[in-house]
Chains A and B, each alone.
Chain A
Amino acid sequence: MSSGAANAASVQRSAAARVTWRSRLRGATHRAGLIALTVVALLAFYEGYNWLWRATGWTWPFPADDTTLPHLWTIFKAFADPAQVNQPSLFSVLMHKALFTAKEAFAGFVLGALFGFALGAVLAHSKLLQRGFLPYIVGSQTIPILAIAPMVVIWVNPKLPAGMQGWGAVAVISAYLTFFPVAVNSLRGLNSADPRMLELMRTYAASTWTVLWKVRFPASLPYVFSALKVAATASVVGAIIGELPSGLQSGLGGAILNFNQYYSIEPQELWATNIVAALLGIIFFLAVLGAEKAVVRRAPERRA
């Protein structure tokens, strides 16, 4: 082949690369614009419902007033106001609480994910164990965690070192919600390895461990990550729920319980807390999404 043709081809290729890069950027801004537009539309719907239901006095499905639907500006103003007299602003108070809950949730996430994956790996190697334990793993999630949380707290706390008192027990509750999706999807993912690859490994006389790490584990990654995304939110839910009966005041769960009691006077504080909780859940989710993008570089497989 002539070098001229090769040159022409490479020029063409870089031009094509430039085009896709530019169109990708355009796509990204387009999408960001759409998301922003949708958020604005949702906020407008909130205020629209608020206005119409207040104006007409409609009560179905629920009435609108300063208690049920505080105005957006009231909520945003609440962030700037001090939570209590001579105290820092609600915003800074909530940030501290969110950080505390994030610590619990993160510890629970790591604990639950590791346990869940280990469980999935063990079950993946034995049909018998799967049949014995899988129904109970599913059943475990039907137990209302909030109901057993107080018992878990009383149970776990004395066994923890001083530095982990309180939040450690909540992390365990959070792990309880986290492990389930990870265990189920690890099992599915580890079993999704290409049978031909497994056969190939057998011709190498590879050990169970080698097969696990070189074939099964990579095959499971897309499944595991789709579970981790669910688990990320579950860990935040677990941390908030775990705080409710444990009497911990340092986290968002405690704040929700507290502001709930003053809801009829200052509903905006509970709303503000919930917004922070929502953002925390989304941040956890996005963090896992980012990790997935970095780790799973091949084409996304069908979601489990």
Chain B
Amino acid sequence: MSASALTLRSTKALREWAPALVVAIAVIGGWQGAIAAFDIQQFLLPKPSNIAAALWDDRGTLWPAGWYTFKEALGGFALGSCLGVLFALIVARFERVGAALMPIAIAGNAVPIIAFAPIFNAWFDPLEPTSKMAIAGVLCFFPVLVNTLRGLQSVRPQQIELMRAYAAGEIAIYRRVRIPTALPYIFTSLKIASVLAMIGAVVGEYFGGSFDALGVLIRSDAQILDFVTAWAGIVVASVLGITLYLAVAIAERIFVRWAPGGRDV
């Protein structure tokens, strides 16, 4: 690649990311300044500098706790997403079964599953990561199932006809037509699931969990009105959530490279 092409690429990247950076600096600066200027109750919304200090001071407890919760989220994400895709593949194979299960899946998607977190804590030991993986897994399962099914069913009929003209079998049609068509849908749902997994793990911990976990940490800090540390914990949770999301987004770029134009969000 020539030098000019490289500069072109880096200016393009700069143009893409500069506005976000400006906003971040403006918001954090404004936040810091506003608290100083208007004397806002610090215990509720601490200064960013204080939160940053807490992030550093409590790094020995915050990050391990974050890692603990992240592992729960990751386990749930992997479990729920795989089962969602697998289930959709099976269901889509049998058209009538799919027609019967689709409304149920959509209804399941409309259920506030987070309300079931206490029950998962009763099924599995609340102090074990399994209970949080289960709730995170169920949270991920439904959107992935619904979107994958939709993707598998959105194949253009003529593409199937073409494959039939080649005397292609069911498996070949799946491999060469249905799955590639469904891939963008699957990735959209995986991005949703990545965010839900982290939230599911934290909420699961709210109803009781190991003291090594981030959700428990944030909750107990907030209860003793130590909001600076609670915010620091929130930042950790958020950073880890964004990390998982970005990982999925990068995977999407790699696997769905053929799509016209850039896809946002």
Contacts and interface: CB of A to CB of B under 8 A. Distances in A.
B44 interface: yes
A144 B100 contact: no
Contact of A285 (B19, B45, B110): B110
Nearest to B199: A144
Given A134-B264, A143-B237, A38 B242 contact: no
Q: Main SS of chain A's interface residues?
A: helix
A34 interface: yes
Count class of interface residues, chain B:
35 or more
A68 B107 CA distance: 23
A184 B44 CA distance: 29
B150 interface: yes
The CB with the most chain A CB atoms within 10 A, among B111, B203, B233, is that of B111
A147 B202 contact: yes
B163 interface: no
Interface of chain B: mostly helix, strand, loop or mixed: helix
Interface string B199-234: 100110011000000010011001000010010011
A35 B202 contact: no
A145 interface: yes
B104 A39 contact: yes
A233 B264 contact: no
Interface stretch (B3-11, B30-38, B50-58, B112-120): B112-120
A31 B124 CA distance: 36
15 contacts: A31-B99, A61-B124, A67-B122, A131-B18, A132-B23, A133-B20, A134-B264, A134-B265, A144-B202, A146-B215, A184-B265, A241-B114, A263-B122, A270-B119, A281-B110
Interface of A: 31, 34-35, 37-39, 42, 61-62, 67-68, 128-136, 138-139, 141-148, 150-151, 154-155, 184, 188, 229, 232-233, 236-237, 240-241, 244-245, 252-253, 256, 260, 263, 267, 270-271, 273-274, 277-278, 280-282, 284-286, 302-303
